[in-house]
Amino acid sequence: MRVTGDAGEGAGNLGTMEVVIGTEHCVAPVRGSAVTIGAYDGVHIGHRHLIGVLRAMAAERDLDTVVVTFDRHPATVVRPESAPLLLTDLQQKLDLLAAAGVDRTVVVPFDAVRANETAEDFVVEVLVEALGARLVVVGADFHFGHGRKGNVALLTEMGSRHGFEVVGLGLEADQAGEAVSSTRIRGLLAAGDVGAAARLLGRYHQVRGIVVHGDGRGGPELGYPTANLDVPPEVALPGEGIYACWYERAGRSVHGAAASVGHRPTFYANDGALILEAFLLDFDGDLYGEEARISFVERLGEDRRYPSVDALVAQMAVDVAVARDVLARSPL
């Protein structure tokens, strides 16, 4: 993907989806846009349902589809002390939006100035002037603008003046009738329930990072060399535990893996850093410095302290065998 908004061109390309950084680089389509707005963290099944409605209505009206999202979660600016961990980094989000069939994604830099912008100014600047909106589809509980004063009612009132239609959709529910939301998915991940999280995401939860050097004991001391992934601190890891995973060497190959999220309690009693490390099944090679993507399939057990290294190694052998079995029936 080529994204050069800050460098002057303002546009990029991801497959057939155009990516624009900043509204100052937007050129409104002559035929107008069908727009949705939001953080779209995770691009879960509820998000994709809304995008499906947007695409269908846009096709009926011969409009381009546009997602307006932000370069960071707005809460990191508005209430940083309680900002949520992310289900997807920006690049993942763009990948998923492209796969959902969106024509264009506009990434709006979110800072203190944007946080203090009134809802009315946002509508005029972004929806009317930058995108030529003719249709806006959002969740029925959508809020925006300073103090969250913008909502579907305000959008509808402004749409009547500026020539765009507004549709507010209720939250998508799962098979049990519970609403699908990014907040709910974060809770499932924190509890280690990556299977339930995957059902709401419509995919396995994936984190990305660079393979870095660890303690160096995995291969020589334990017989299970691991890849330690440096995951950005704002990205949500599942709760501590052992997991069956798919490990993708970005742009290269995919391998089954048994991964640990934890503090290595057998070696560190209190102050071990939280790390993600993965043992790749049937692989022998150097991974340092590579980008990796780890998709969590199933939690196998807890990350706990063992009385000896031998006991830890014995449990690792069990975990690897179980991970192999799980992955044999869990395609990527």
Question: What is the set of domains in the chain, with CATH numbers?
Answer: 5-169 (3.40.50.620), 205-328 (2.40.30.30)
Task: Strand 11-14: give its sheet, edge to edge.
Answer: 11-14, 17-21, 104-108, 64-70, 33-37, 133-139, 165-169
* Interval 148-199: pLDDT, tens: 999 999 999 999 999 999 999 998 888 888 999 999 999 999 999 999 999 9
Q: Is 284 exposed, middle or buried (0-12, 13-18, 19+ CB in 10 A)?
A: exposed
pLDDT at residue 272, rounded to an integer = 53
Q: How far is residue 131's CA from residue 127's CA, in Å, rounded to a whole number?
A: 5
pLDDT band at 48 (very low <50, low <70, confident <90, very high): very high
pLDDT at residue 57 tops 90: yes
pLDDT at residue 232, rounded to an integer = 94
Instruction: Report which of residues 224 and 60 the model is more confident about.
Output: 60
Phi-psi region of 22 (alpha: psi -120 to 50; beta: other; left: phi over 0): left
pLDDT at residue 177, rounded to an integer = 87
Question: What tokens were used for 90?
Answer: 């920006």
Residue with tokens 């995108």: 131
Q: Which of 100, 115, 123 is nearest to 16 (CA)?
A: 100
Q: Is 219 exposed, middle or buried (0-12, 13-18, 19+ CB in 10 A)?
A: exposed
* Interval 188-241: pLDDT, tens: 999 999 999 999 999 999 999 999 987 655 545 577 889 999 999 999 999 999
Q: Are 193 and 299 in contact (CB under 8 A)?
A: yes
**pTM of the prediction?**
0.90
How far is C-alpha 119 from the geometric centre of its chain's CA atoms? Answer: 26
Query: How many residues in the chain?
Result: 332
* Interval 101-148: pLDDT, tens: 999 999 999 999 999 999 999 999 999 999 999 999 999 999 999 989
* Interval 310-332: pLDDT, tens: 888 898 899 999 999 999 999 88
Query: How many CB atoms within 10 Å of residue 177?
Result: 6
Question: What tokens were used for 84?
Answer: 């949520």
Q: How far is residue 208's CA from residue 231's CA, in Å, rounded to a whole number?
A: 6
Strands 133-139, 17-21: parallel, antiparallel or unpaired by DSSP? unpaired
* Interval 81-106: pLDDT, tens: 999 999 999 999 999 999 999 999 99
